[in-house]
Amino acid sequence: MKPIDAAVTLKLGVQGGHQEALALWKAIWAAYERGGAEGAKTHLAGLRELPEDDADELDDEADS
Amino acid sequence: MTRPVPNGARWRLAWIIIREFRGVAKERRYEFNGRPGLLHGNNGVGKSTVALALQWILYGKFPSGVLQNATPDRFLSPVQAKNKHYSGEVVLDRGGQRLVVSRDAATKELKVSHGGETWQGAAAEAERDALLGLDMDSFVRAVLLQQSQTRALLLEDPKERNKALDRLLGMDSVEHLLDLLRPKDYTQAADAWRDKASAEQERLAEREQLLAEQLETAQKRARAMKFLNKDFNPSGLRTRCADLGRDVVALGKKYRVDVAEPPACTDPTHVESFSKAFTSQVQRVRVHAQLKKQLAPVEKDISTWTALREGWTERSAARDESAAALAQLVKKHGEREGLMKARGDLSRELTELGRSLKAADDTRQLLEDALVLIAREKPRTCPVCEQSFPARPDIVARLKERSASLASKEMGRIEAQLATGQARAGAIDDALALLKAEEVGLASCQKELETYRQKVMKALGGSGIVESKILVRLDDALRKREVERVAIGDGMTVMEQDLGEMELRHGALRDGLVPVVLKREELAAHEGAAKKAKALHARDEARAVGLDGLAAQVDAIRKALLSAKQELAGESLRKAGPRAQFLYRALVKQPVFDTLDIQATPRANKVDYTFAVSAKGASTTARDARLVLSDGQLTATALALFFALAESTGHELDLLYIDDPTQNLDLPCKEAMAKAITDLARRRQVIVSTQDEDFVSFLDAEGFRLEAVVHHIKSWDGNPTVETTSPTATGHSQRA
């Protein structure tokens, strides 16, 4: 386990009520390890479900 | 069989073989045998090729930004050849153990061999990382030290400086993730779902109000068409349609037309087919009604008889005109018989006059002959009566007188009578011709009239109708037919009124009742859709709540990342601190600010770095290093930190490959750098690459060469020309 992963895992793990955040972190870190920043970005974008009409607009905003 | 590893032994570079790669068109092997190394030579002779090959063979890629604007193939192919078959081999040694890493661009294959085993692909990568204990990012930070990586530490923009330190500390992944972890993205997404639901609800409410208003308007209109509230539903519509269908059938019976009842209208969607059938049946009544059949022959008779009456009148008038003209001629010239008799008398009279004229002419001729004879022969007696002439002159005179009298008087009289008679005869002939022509015309008119009379009698269905009664009979018949036509017309008017009433009822049904029923159904459907939409909105709200939760999780991760970054970066800096401090003093030799202090400092939503110098560590004298040190001193300070961090990073590769460390340094600093590197080379494998001959001299002066393998790259012609010197037990041996 890389130091940063270990440190974040430890911090989220010891804080009560952050189990979901820990699971999310694991998924994000795995995506980052696999595909770098683009991989993590794609994973996070996949979580951000948007109404169809707003998707493009908010994506543009996020990119800017 | 793996040989035992001496305690604390780490991997060192034994040699590297470079094939058809960048500055090596063929193949070049650089041996180090686990010793320190020096590569020196002028710019452009292929020194950097070795560093690039080392990175590419081990990891097959470069940190982002290293190969800007060039695809790997184009950049890594031989400068003069451009083929894509570059390959290479790195051999590492650890207390007699060998780790061989080879890579081939053509086959895209990585091979790792160690302890008699060979791995390929992902297994080879895993084995490599496990044995070396570092990945590519750590390799770039802790093994392959290029001064270009320190440049960003000197930038004025604190953001860029922080980024450079992040890279040195291996915190760039944290920064990448912090950039991406934005709770706002998820709260915005949650808001978008809530806004969508809210907008949809508003739209549905507006639509419902509009439909209710339209229904009210339609109901008012339908009531004005005598429909009742009980009709305003599919059942009412069905009843009304059925009534209308039965009535159109009854109407068909009344006008003796077979009419089929239109299909039942059990649903508003059936109205169209009902209307089509109804209209068709109404039209059928209109076209096939008995009255219409009765009317046709009556109108035909009236038309025929009217034409006959006109024809009779015309022909009768022509005949009468001809008869009047004949009567006029008779009145003028008399009857034909009288004219014929007068013409006969006149012919005889003219014959007599002709004879008289001829006799007188004969007498006159005789007298003329007598006169000629008398004048020629002079007789004494008359040759006819033989009597003697009394006296010749007297006879001749008398003969002449008599002849002249005959020619001028008697014959003239006769001729005048003859001319008068002939003129009269011509006039009578002319009159007779006129009479004849008029009589022929009259006969023709009469004949045609008679033929027409026969035709009229046939048309009227009678016989023996005299001429004088023809018109009377025609007029009687026409009067009767007119009476019949009026009666049928009245009947048809009533039928049209009946049909019109039906059509009005149908129109009211279609334009009044149907819109109400349809609008009520539309409203009911809308209410159903609104109900479903509410369920969807509840789902959207659940989504929004989930996204709010995600925002909170992302926020927690972000905070954990920041905290972790501060701890890890702080720990790295603490570990590297003493060595960095030592190198700072050794390299920079700043007379006042002799203490270097680099710390990770937490700020709101980020971790900054302070890069300060002070006098003997006194906090009151601490200053931002950038404000105190020259560019060269800053470069040396950055290198001090760079080396210290690299040295303090834990991994299994006992190698520091330092590429071009003396840029921007003055001579004393170069000398200090040579001393520091030589000192470092006593504890681990250091390979230095430089074009700076002053620096090489300083390294020689420090004794670096005594333990190092030196590759002097003298020239380049597609392949480097290298002079290699290796240490031996008795000194250095040299080979080309």
Task: Tell me the pLDDT tens digit for each residue of B668-679.
Answer: 999 999 999 999
pLDDT greater at residue A23 or residue B607 = A23
CB pairs under 8 A between A and B: 91
Instruction: Read off the pLDDT of residues B522-560 as tens digits, 9 standing for 90 and up.
Output: 999 999 999 998 998 999 999 999 999 999 999 999 999
pLDDT band of A61, cuts 50, 70, 90:
low
Q: What is the pLDDT of residue B140?
A: 87
With a cut of 60, say whether residue B609 has pLDDT above it. Answer: yes
Q: What is the pLDDT of residue B390?
A: 65
The DSSP line for B645-712 is HHHHS--SB-EEEEE-TTTT--HHHHHHHHHHHHHHHTTSEEEEEE--HHHHHHHHHHTHHHH-EEEE
| Residue among A25, A41, A49 minimizing CB distance to B180 | A41
Closest-CA residue to A22 (of B630, B209, B553, B513)? B553
Are the C-beta atoms of B140 and B148 separated by less than 8 Å?
A: no
Segment B229-253 mean pLDDT? 94
Segment B76-86 mean pLDDT? 78
**DSSP bridge pairs for B713:** B722
User: For B510, how many CA atoms within 13 A lie in the half-sphere containing its CB?
Assistant: 15
Q: What is the pLDDT of residue B65?
A: 58
Segment B137-161 mean pLDDT? 80
Indicate yes or no: CB of A32 within 8 angstroms of CB of B176.
Answer: yes
CB atoms within 10 A of CB B60: 15
CB atoms within 10 A of CB B399: 16
% of chain B at pLDDT higher than 70 = 95
Query: B262-266, B469-473, B601-605 — which is least confidently predicted?
Result: B601-605
Q: How far is A41 from chain B, CA to nearest CA, in Å?
A: 6
Q: How far is A53 from chain B, CA to nearest CA, in Å?
A: 9
Are the C-beta atoms of B712 and B731 separated by less than 8 Å?
A: no
CB contacts, 8 Å: B182 with chain A: 62
| C-alpha–C-alpha distance, residues B26 and B31, integer Å | 17
Instruction: Read off the pLDDT of residues B701-721 as tens digits, 9 standing for 90 and up.
Output: 999 999 999 999 999 988 999
A7 and chain B in contact, CB less than 8 A: yes
- Mean pLDDT, chain B, integer: 89
Are the C-beta atoms of B175 and B159 separated by less than 8 Å?
A: no
Segment B582-592 mean pLDDT? 91
Query: A47-61, B328-342, B419-433 — which is least confidently predicted?
Result: A47-61
Closest-CA residue to B634 (of B144, B155, B140, B143)? B155
Predicted structure pTM score: 0.60
Distances (CA, A) of B710 to B145, B476, B660: 19, 147, 15
List the single residue in A with minimal CA-CA distance to B200. Answer: A51
Structure tokens at B430: 């002319």
What three-state secondary structure class fits B720?
A: strand
% of chain B at pLDDT higher than 90 = 64
With a cut of 60, say whether residue B198 has pLDDT above it. Answer: yes
Indicate yes or no: CB of B557 within 8 angstroms of CB of A21.
Answer: yes
Indicate yes or no: CB of A28 within 8 angstroms of CB of B563.
Answer: no
Query: Starting at the edge strand that comes first in sequence, how are the strands of the sheet with B685-690 ordered?
Result: B144-146, B655-659, B685-690, B37-40, B709-716, B720-728, B731-735
| Residue among B185, B186, B556 minimizing CB distance to A18 | B556
| C-alpha–C-alpha distance, residues A10 and B541, integer Å | 33
Segment B677-690 mean pLDDT? 94
Are the C-beta atoms of B361 and B355 separated by less than 8 Å?
A: no
Closest-CA residue to B533 (of B121, B198, B179, B264)? B198
With a cut of 90, say whether residue B663 has pLDDT above it. Answer: no
Indicate yes or no: CB of B180 within 8 angstroms of CB of A44.
Answer: yes
pLDDT band of A3, cuts 50, 70, 90:
confident
Q: How many helices and strands (H and E) does chain B possess?
A: 20, 16
Q: Residue B262 carries which side chain, given as an amino acid letter?
A: P
Instruction: Read off the pLDDT of residues B249-303 as tens digits, 9 standing for 90 and up.
Output: 999 999 999 999 999 988 888 889 999 999 999 999 998 988 888 999 999 999 9
Query: A17-21, B44-48, B704-708 — which is least confidently predicted?
Result: A17-21
Q: What is the pLDDT of residue B69?
A: 45
Q: What is the pLDDT of residue A63?
A: 52
Q: What is the distance between the terminal CA atoms of chain B, rounded to a whole angstrom? A: 35
**DSSP bridge pairs for B611:** B598
- Quote ipTM for the complex: 0.89
Are the C-beta atoms of B321 and B534 separated by less than 8 Å?
A: no
% of chain A at pLDDT higher than 90 = 41
Q: Which residues have CB under 8 Å from B696's CB, separation 6+? A: B38, B40, B690
With a cut of 80, say whether residue B503 has pLDDT above it. Answer: yes
Closest-CA residue to B168 (of B133, B140, B129)? B140
Q: What is the pLDDT of residue B580?
A: 92
Indicate yes or no: CB of A4 within 8 angstroms of CB of B568.
Answer: yes
With a cut of 50, say whether residue B382 has pLDDT above it. Answer: yes
**DSSP bridge pairs for B653:** B11
Q: What is the pLDDT of residue B72?
A: 75
A1 and chain B in contact, CB less than 8 A: no
Q: What is the pLDDT of residue B732?
A: 53
| C-alpha–C-alpha distance, residues B631 and B37, integer Å | 28
Select from B136, B172, B184, B185 the residue whose CB has the most chain A CBs within 10 Å, as the one to mutate to test that interface.
B185
Q: What is the pLDDT of residue B476?
A: 94
Query: B414-423, B564-573, B629-638 — which is least confidently predicted?
Result: B629-638
Segment B104-118 mean pLDDT? 93
pLDDT band of B2, cuts 50, 70, 90:
very low
pLDDT band of B155, cuts 50, 70, 90:
confident
With a cut of 60, say whether residue B81 has pLDDT above it. Answer: yes
Q: What is the pLDDT of residue B228?
A: 94
DSSP H or E run through B397: helix B392-405
Q: Which residues have CB under 8 Å from A39's CB, separation 6+? A: A31, A32, A33
Q: What is the pLDDT of residue B267?
A: 82
Q: Which residues have CB under 8 Å from B540's CB, separation 6+? A: A51, B193, B194, B196, B197
List the single residue in B with minimal CA-CA distance to A36. Answer: B173
Q: What is the pLDDT of residue B488?
A: 93
Segment B583-590 mean pLDDT? 91
Are the C-beta atoms of B645 and B138 separated by less than 8 Å?
A: no
Q: What is the pLDDT of residue A42?
A: 93
Indicate yes or no: CB of A7 within 8 angstroms of CB of B567.
Answer: yes
CB contacts, 8 Å: B186 with chain A: 47-48
Are the C-beta atoms of B461 and B480 separated by less than 8 Å?
A: no
B543 and chain A in contact, CB less than 8 A: yes
B548 and chain A in contact, CB less than 8 A: no
Segment B405-410 mean pLDDT? 84
Indicate yes or no: CB of B186 within 8 angstroms of CB of A28.
Answer: no
Tokens 């790669």, located at residue: B21
